[in-house]
Amino acid sequence: MEIRSAVVLAAGEGARLRPLTNHRPKPMLPAAAKPILEHVFDSLVDADITEITVVVGYGRTHVQSHFGSTYRGASIDYVVQDKQLGSGHALLEAEPEVSGPQLVLNGDQIVERGIIEDVCEVHNSDTIATLGLVRDGDITNYGGVILEDDEHVTEIVERPHDDRSYHLNAGVYAFEPEIFEYLRGPEPQFNEYSLVDGIANAIDAGETVRGVVSDGFWYDATYPWDLLEVTETLLESTDGVESTVSADAQIHNSATIVEPVVISADCVVGPGSVVGPNVALGENVTVGANAVVENSVADSDTRVGANATLVDCVSGRSVRIGAGSTVVGGPGDVRIGDRVHENERLGALLADRVHDRGGVTYAPGTIVGSDAVITAGTAVQGTIDGETEVQ
């Protein structure tokens, strides 16, 4: 079926990515040096979608100011979800903008164009919903789908832990407008309207729900270390992001660039430094003389001092890493909320405007909150609150 319009759900915060999401929503975090949401828009436009409605909420001005009213020739309209009451509620907020068959995607998950095209090709008016599925995805933290006769969806299970044969729900849907009635009822659990519950309501009512299995790329950056993995996957995938050095970047002739990398406009890479592999530098990042940056994501306006070493590091915007500081790399134990994740590949996460004064050593798994200041020569580990000074 020819579908030319899409609703993108981009109203959530991304609490498990704090402190990076303290000042902007998860869809605007960087994946290979550009926002996750921009990758979503690219996949939609490449699949010939010309009208995009974005449901925004937390940090919505970041989305609206970045994209405006058009993107690569596609029109963009915005709908505000004032209270985050679930994915189904977010789609209900966009109901006045929907007049026919509609694609629906999550704005904080990267999906390959092929998944979108497969869903559009399979969907027809006799089917209230068509789900894009991935054959080999890890379903334990996401949604598993049971297919009958390789096409009919009979059950959707959130975070399944039994031994049945599931496909991963990739969060790409085609819906007929009648889906809205099933999103409204019955009364939601925990005061949240779930998109998956709405689909389950339609199945229970005897509606036809289909699934189409794709081999395309799908990725959700749930935790800080996932930003490293998604960047690496995008850079190394044939359908991902091309390794590039901007023509506006200044690379010293004695510096070494180890591809794949993304080095954005106005970056400066100093003499004797080594950048790569699997590094994404946002706009206006400076890497000082003889510094080493490997398997890392440095967001815009970050400064890496001379002789510093960053391995498996994620930095927010306007971070200052002093001369001789060292992020030794993962694996490490990382505390997210009240849970400790063991042996994750994260050297350190330095949130927006962290300033270390040089000679600092970061133990694997360190998380430093926004606007923290770290005194020269300090060894830090664990979780450091934002707006604190570490001596």
pLDDT at 69: 94
Tell me, yes or no, whether 287 and 383 share the same domain.
yes
Task: Name the one residue in this structure whose structure tokens are 């974005």.
Answer: 54
Tell me, yes or no, whether 248 and 365 share the same domain.
yes
- The helix/strand/coil state of 225 is helix
Tell me, yes or no, whether 201 and 255 share the same domain.
no
pLDDT at 318: 96
pLDDT at 135: 77
pLDDT at 361: 97
Structure tokens at 269: 């890479």
Contacts of 73 (CB under 8 A, 6+ apart): 45, 50
φ, ψ at 113 (rounded to 5°): -55, -40
Task: Name the one residue in this structure whose structure tokens are 């998604």.
Answer: 230
230 within a domain of the structure (yes/no): no
pLDDT at 188: 57
Tell me, yes or no, whether 259 and 130 share the same domain.
no
pLDDT at 299: 95
CATH number for the domain that contains residue 213: 3.90.550.10
Structure tokens at 109: 């998950």
- Split into its structural domains, the chain has a count of 2
DSSP 62-117: HHHHHHTTEETTEEEEEEE-SS---HHHHHHHTGGG--S-EEEEETTEEE-HHHHH
Tell me, yes or no, whether 253 and 288 share the same domain.
yes
- The helix/strand/coil state of 187 is coil
Q: How many CA atoms lie within 13 A of 250 on its CB side?
A: 10
DSSP state of 59: B
Residue ranges, the chain, pLDDT below 70: 1, 136-139, 186-191
Contacts of 163 (CB under 8 A, 6+ apart): none
Cα radius of gyration rounded to whole Å, the chain: 22
Query: Which domain, by its residues, includes 37?
Result: 5-220
pLDDT at 186: 61
Q: Count of H helices and E strands in the chain?
A: 7, 39
319 within a domain of the structure (yes/no): yes
Judge if pTM exceeds 0.85.
Answer: yes
Tell me, yes or no, whether 62 and 150 share the same domain.
yes
CATH number for the domain that contains residue 371: 2.160.10.10
Which of 152, 186, 220 is the C-terminal boundary of a domain? 220
Tell me, yes or no, whether 95 and 37 share the same domain.
yes
Nearest of 255, 300, 294, 302 to residue 276 by alpha carbon: 294
